[in-house]
Structure 1
Amino acid sequence: MKIHVIAVGKLKEKFWVDACAEYVKRLKAYAKVTVQEIPDRDPAKSGGEEGARRIEGKGILEALPEHSHVILLDVGGKQLSSEGIAARMDALMLSGVSDITFVVGGSGGVSRGVYDFADEHLSFGKITLPHNLARVVLLEQIYRAFKISRGEPYHK
């Protein structure tokens, strides 16, 4: 299984970097995991919010691996429990999907092109998370999903 995370913005604070690195390390027992950062754009220098989303979106679309199942983190997406995420990933794998890409947009969201390209939209609820925290939560939930699917202790 290959898991890709494409995220807009660079993790600047050490605690975010360390948290993500810890979950990527834990995930190595279950999947090949890559995390790719797309530079975020200043709307004031990119023709406004829409211009920033368009430029970031182009970077996201160019970074997507071919033939990968794309899941966009989206506040309006489907809300799943941790068990639901595990079941969804299991269903994808059982259907022959061996490559999943999760996309974490920037603070201004994603372009219409990225939104429409995604195979699925996943929400962590109606709350707004900083994209740095959303990346940590995503990696933790992917790790938790593998643990749940294998019946291993971790999920309580």
Structure 2
Amino acid sequence: MRKHSAQGGFEPVLRCDTTQVEGGERLTHIKAFATQCIAKGVTAIVVHSDEAALLILESLLDSGVSVPEDISIVAYDDELAAIARPALSAVAPPKQALGRYAIRTLATRLTSPNEPCTHLLIEPTLVIRDSTGPAPSRH
């Protein structure tokens, strides 16, 4: 994502890594991130998981932020994104295709362990819902 953001001329303003925190500490971390986004005037947030996106959405709404009018949110996964209010736009990986490829790869490795590894690029789909819109004008 960093490479494509840079190619588009976008610099990430803030980054929130919750991979090393759990439970209540994770929630506190996410709420602090949402507060930072508001303070910095962030207009869009791309979140790696639906779960974290839902928590960020809740924190923003609790703070009086309007989504998508003030800040747009895009989740990655699309397992829970549609149930949010507003429904979250999401990057949806083709999980069935990934699963089929993983099973074929595993079967090949088991029957032909010396077979060279292959790489596959599977494009996700962007599902546009109610959490994204034009960036607000900043005068």
Same fold by TM-score, threshold 0.5 exceeded? no
TM-score (structure 1 length as normaliser): 0.28
Larger helix fraction of residues: 1
Larger strand fraction of residues: 1
Greater RCO (CA < 8 Å, at least 6 residues apart): 1
For the pair shown, the structure with the greater C-alpha radius of gyration is 2
